[in-house]
């Protein structure tokens, strides 16, 4: 796209694309653009950036992170199939499995995040998809991505990994044997809590089926929101470094406190999965959890006393957030049972201010 020297691509909105002749119209399969549903020159810039970062053959953009989970599941799971999903999965992914895949007569089985190569024992002739998420949602289990993907592929399944936490800057699933990498661009790539978007980056083997399904479903991303993600991508590296640094500082500080039972952060040397993390990831991000030494009422007092941390879902934006984690949908990866689990998203505020806010929370938790 010629941009006449402007450093950013224009926002190209559009449905109709005009053809020069009936011959060009008949031959539209060979044109770059023939209808807005397949994307515009603006969406193409973000697709190409993500494909490059993920080492992927192609990237599909969709209207939310959750749609980036459901699109590849719909693309590769058919009636009668068996699908393996990690038990520490983002819970709306599980909801899609039991509300939609089940109705499609797809059998969903949840597996232990620590299964590794032994996933081979769960593979059936009709297993079509193995779904991974690393680290696990809220509890941060680190899967052995290479061992699981190799066994899945040997058993004839495709693999997809929800890579939202690490971003492509800190983990590249396709380099570890996964076929597809999923992102909620809503989180760090968007980075400012003002949009929803998702992406699926696929290797050559899975790209055609993924793209066909996206086209058949009629979903893509809005070019205005794409331009916001393109803006976010320019500062992703520096923002992530700041989120990572302050989150790790605060995690280390939390570990020293008597009113904290444990801290679940993959980059902490004390974390159970730290070695598996270091072997596969090049860095961490700003989301982690800790177990409060207290009961559910203490957790409520802690959260209600916070003034900088907001109480809200999602993460990856500039602002710090805290939520009480509910793990009641887990069947295998139960998580710590020693007390209430609180998840923190560390934003871009000053570390000292955030620490003072958490201290206010601990004081209130004491009652």
Ligand X SMILES: *Cc1c(COP(=O)(O)O)cnc(C)c1O
- The CB-nearest residue to ligand X is 65
State yes or no: residue 64 binds ligand X (CB under 6 A): yes
**Number of residues in contact with ligand X under rule CB under 6 A:** 14
List residues bridging with 162 in a β-sheet: 133, 182
Among residues 187, 179, 176, which one has the least CA distance to residue 210?
179
Task: For residue 90, state whether it binds ligand X (rule: CB under 6 A).
Answer: yes
- Report the nearest approach of ligand X to the CB of residue 198 (Å): 6
Q: How many CA atoms lie within 13 A of 2 on its CB side?
A: 1
> Which H/E stretch holds residue 274?
helix 274-280
CA distance 92 to 299: 24
Question: 190 or 339: whose CB is closer to ligand X?
Answer: 190
The minimum distance between CB 139 and ligand X, in angstroms, equals 12
The residue behind tokens 């800057």 is 169
Site string for ligand X, 249-288 (x = CB under 6 A): ----------------------------------------
Whether omega for the bond prior to residue 135 falls within 30 degrees of 0, making it cis, is yes
Instruction: End-to-end CA distance of the chain: give it in Å, rounded.
Output: 61
Give the max Cα distance, the chain: 77
Question: From residue 191 to residue 210, what is the string marking binding to ligand X with x (rule CB under 6 A)?
Answer: -----x-x------------
Residues 120-159 touching ligand X, rule: CB under 6 A, are: 137
> What minimum distance in Å lies between the beta carbon of 93 and ligand X?
7
Question: Min. distance of Cβ 259 from ligand X in angstroms?
Answer: 27
Q: Which residue has the tokens 């971003």?
A: 167
CA 270 to CA 273: how far, in whole Å?
9
66 is a contact residue toward ligand X (CB under 6 A): yes
- Give the footprint of ligand X on this chain (CB under 6 A): 64-66, 69, 90, 137, 162, 164, 184, 186-187, 196, 198, 314
């Amino acid at each position: 796209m010629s941009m006449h020297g402007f450093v950013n691509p224009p926002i190209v909105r559009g449905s109709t694309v005009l053809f020069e002749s009936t011959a060009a119209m008949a031959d539209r399969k060979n044109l770059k653009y023939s209808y807005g549903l397949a994307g515009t020159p603006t969406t193409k810039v973000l697709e190409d950036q993500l494909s490059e970062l993920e080492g992927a053959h192609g990237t599909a953009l969709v209207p939310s992170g959750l749609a980036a989970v459901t699109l590849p599941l719909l693309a590769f799971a058919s009636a009668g199939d068996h699908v393996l999903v990690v038990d520490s999965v983002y819970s709306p992914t599980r909801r899609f499995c039991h509300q939609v895949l089940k109705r499609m007569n797809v059998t969903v089985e949840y597996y232990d995040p620590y299964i590794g190569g032994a996933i081979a024992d769960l593979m059936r002739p009709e297993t079509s998809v193995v779904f991974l998420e690393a680290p696990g949602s809220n509890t941060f289990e680190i899967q052995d991505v290479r061992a699981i993907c190799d066994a899945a592929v040997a058993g004839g399944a495709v693999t997809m990994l929800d890579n939202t936490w690490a971003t492509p800057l800190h983990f590249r699933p396709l380099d570890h044997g996964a076929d597809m990498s999923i992102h909620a661009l809503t989180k760090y790539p968007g980075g400012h809590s003002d949009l929803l978007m998702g992406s699926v980056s696929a290797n050559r083997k899975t790209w055609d089926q993924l793209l066909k399904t996206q086209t058949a479903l009629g979903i893509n991303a809005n070019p205005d929101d794409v331009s916001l993600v393109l803006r976010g991508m320019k500062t992703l590296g520096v923002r992530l470094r700041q989120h990572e640094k302050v989150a790790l500082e605060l995690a280390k500080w939390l570990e020293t406190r008597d009113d904290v039972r444990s801290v679940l952060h993959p980059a902490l040397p004390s974390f159970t999965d730290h070695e598996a993390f270091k072997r596969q990831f090049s860095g961490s991000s700003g989301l982690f959890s800790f177990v409060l030494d207290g009961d559910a009422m203490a957790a409520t007092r802690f959260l209600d006393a916070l003034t900088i941390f907001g109480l809200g879902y999602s993460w990856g934006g500039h602002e710090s957030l805290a939520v009480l984690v509910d793990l009641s949908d887990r069947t295998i990866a139960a998580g710590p049972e020693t007390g209430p689990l609180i998840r923190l998203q560390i934003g871009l505020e000053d570390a000292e201010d955030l620490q003072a806010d958490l201290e206010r929370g601990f004081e209130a938790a004491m009652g």
